[in-house]
Amino acid sequence: MITNKLEMVIFKSNEELALEIKSLRTRIGYNQDDMANYLQISKAAYVNKENGRNEFTLLEAIKLCVLFNKKVEEFFLQTS
């Protein structure tokens, strides 16, 4: 008999993700202007995302994973 295992996927909160992104950003020596340029958005838009007020788009999320050399699931999903 084949059974399907349904796993619950839980995303990190905007606040948790924002703290991680800020930490990673400073670790690689980028400032908020650098990040905005990299993501091709305004600095104000980036600041709102880094502060957890707005969410990153799918394209921005992919770019962040590339920049920080992280897998999507380790970057955006809760670990147990």
- Note the pLDDT tens digit of each residue in 10-60: 888 888 888 899 999 999 999 999 999 999 999 999 999 999 889 889 899
Residue 75 near residue 68, CB atoms below 8 Å: yes
pTM over 0.85: no
SS (HEC) of 2-66: CCCCCCCCCECCHHHHHHHHHHHHHHCCCCHHHHHHHHCCCHHHHHHHHCCCCCCCHHHHHHHHH
The full set of domain ranges for the chain reads: 14-76
CA 63 to each of CA 4, 17, 51: distance values in angstroms, whole numbers, following the listed order: 33, 15, 18
* Longest alpha-carbon distance in the chain: 55
pLDDT in tens, 61-71: 999 999 999 99
What CATH number does domain 14-76 carry, 3.90.400.10, 1.10.260.40, 1.10.10.10, 3.40.50.720? 1.10.260.40
What residues are paired with 77 via a beta bridge? 11
Distance between alpha carbon 46 and the CA centroid of its chain, in Å?
11
